[in-house]
Amino acid sequence: MSEENKSIHEFDFKLICEYYSSIERQGPGSPEVTVKALSFIDNLKKESIIADIGCGTGGQTMVLANHTSGHITGIDLFADFIAIFNANSRKKNLHDRVEGVVGSMDNLAFQKEELDLIWSEGAIYNIGFERGINEWYKFLRTGGFIAVSEASWFTEKRPVEIDRFWKDAYPEIDTISHKVYQMQKAGYIPIATFVLPENCWIEHFYVPQVSAQENFLKKYAGNETAEELVRNQRHEAELYYKFKEYYGYVFYIGKKV
Ligand code: SAH
């Protein structure tokens, strides 16, 4: 990559981070859903070690922290998100047991069987669900849990417009039963799955983006990257409103045996 291209790329990257930093969550979810997923997990104690992979700015991590007493490491590829994460953790006085570090989910620095719980909301798609649950398995102790949310089809068939969109965005999107099968094949007991309610997409994700988009377009008027980013986000939201009975996010909770 030439120096010029590299700096353009870095500028785009900064813009994308800035856009997502202005909203509390970088993917669909809600505090209620985080607490519900946690309700299927037992045996957590003060000594427990938890990883939140692809934590973003830590919206769900702080909820997790308020309902557990162990040590939580949040990992995200983007340093800007981790800076906000650590500022949030300090503000909430959780910094002695909730710590954000920059890292990649395909190269985690944990020891074998070190973790009691692996958490990941709306992020495992970055390396793919099947690869993620298989590669992360070794970091969990026997009896430990994994809880991830993932885009899934609700039905066997769906309109071609939404099928095409997702096959292009994330070809690994699949039915709930298929994802449960993959989890069992990877060595976990499938403990629970549940569909995230629509408010996780609407009130907690797309609605906060409306004013964020207006501010962003004002600040970066005429900037191609900013305009394209907003266009894509608006398109994605429109598709959700139109086709939400066919797909959504699903929480998958498994236990290592
Ligand atoms: N869990 C958060 C963020 C979800 S968005 C929430 O639910 O609000 C997906 C996150 O994955 C982003 O923060 C993105 O920076 C992060 N990410 C993307 N690729 C990654 C990788 N290879 N390793 C770690 N994090 C990654």
Place of tokens 């981790």: 82
User: What CATH number does residue 176 fall under?
Assistant: 3.40.50.150
Write the residue with the smallest CA distance to atom 20 of ligand 1: 77
Ligand 1 centroid distance, CA of 27 (Å): 9
Question: Does residue 220 lie within any of the structural domains?
Answer: no
Residue 9 lies in a domain: no
Atom of ligand 1 nearest to the CA of 29: 7
| Rounded distance from Cα 80 to ligand 1 centre (Å) | 12
Distance CA 250, CA 173 (A): 11
Closest C-alpha residue for ligand 1 atom 10: 54
Mention every residue, 6+ apart, whose C-beta is less than 8 A from residue 206.
Answer: 237, 240
**Does 7 score more than 80 pLDDT?**
no
Pocket test for ligand 1, best of 19, 24, 33, 77 (most atoms within 8 A of CB): 77
**117, 144 Cβ separation under 8 angstroms:** yes
Contact, 53 vs 108, CB < 8 A?
Answer: yes
Q: How far apart are CA 128 and CA 61, in angstroms?
A: 21
253 bridge partner residues: 147, 192
Specify whether the CB–CB gap between 47 and 69 falls below 8 A. Answer: no
C-alpha 213 to ligand 1 mean position (Å) = 20
Most ligand 1 atoms within 8 A of CB, residue of 13, 19, 126 to mutate = 126
Model confidence over 125-152: pLDDT tens digits?
Answer: 999 999 999 999 999 999 999 999 999 9
| 12 located within any domain | no
**144 SS3 class:** strand
Regarding beta strands 71-76 and 140-153, do their DSSP bridges make them parallel or antiparallel, or are they unpaired?
A: unpaired
In the chain, % of residues over pLDDT 90: 91
Residue 193 maps to a domain? yes
Q: 52 CB under 6 A from ligand 1?
A: no
pLDDT digits (tens, 9 = 90+) for 81-100: 999 999 999 999 999 999 99
Residue with more model confidence, 114 or 1? 114
Instruction: Tell whether 122 is covered by a domain.
Output: yes
Distance, CA of 135 to CA of 148 (rounded, Å):
14
Q: Which of 106, 247, 74 is nearest to 175 (CA)?
A: 247
In this structure, the dihedral spanned by the alpha carbons of residues 98, 205, 250 and 16, taken in order and rounded to 10 degrees, is -70
Please report, for residues 22, 58, 125, 160, 163, the alpha-carbon distance to residue 88 in angstroms, rounded to integers and kept in the order given: 13, 8, 25, 42, 38
Q: Is the dihedral of CA 121, 127, 131, 135 positive or negative?
A: negative
Tell me the pLDDT tens digit for each residue of 206-257: 999 999 999 999 999 999 999 999 999 999 999 999 999 999 999 999 999 9
Asked whether residue 222 is domain-assigned, the answer is no
- Segments forming the whole domain that contains residue 187: 26-160+170-197+247-256
d(CA 2, CA 64): 43
Q: Which atom of ligand 1 is nearest to the CA of 78?
A: 15
Task: State how many domains the chain has.
Answer: 1
Question: CA-based Rg of the chain, rounded to a whole angstrom?
Answer: 18
Segment 34-44 mean pLDDT: 97
**Any domain includes 10:** no
Q: Average pLDDT over the chain, rounded to whole?
A: 95
pLDDT over 70 at 168, yes or no? yes
Place 6 in a pLDDT band, splitting at 50, 70 and 90.
Answer: low
Structural domain contains residue 127: yes
Query: Predicted confidence band at 8 (pLDDT cuts at 50, 70, 90)?
Result: low
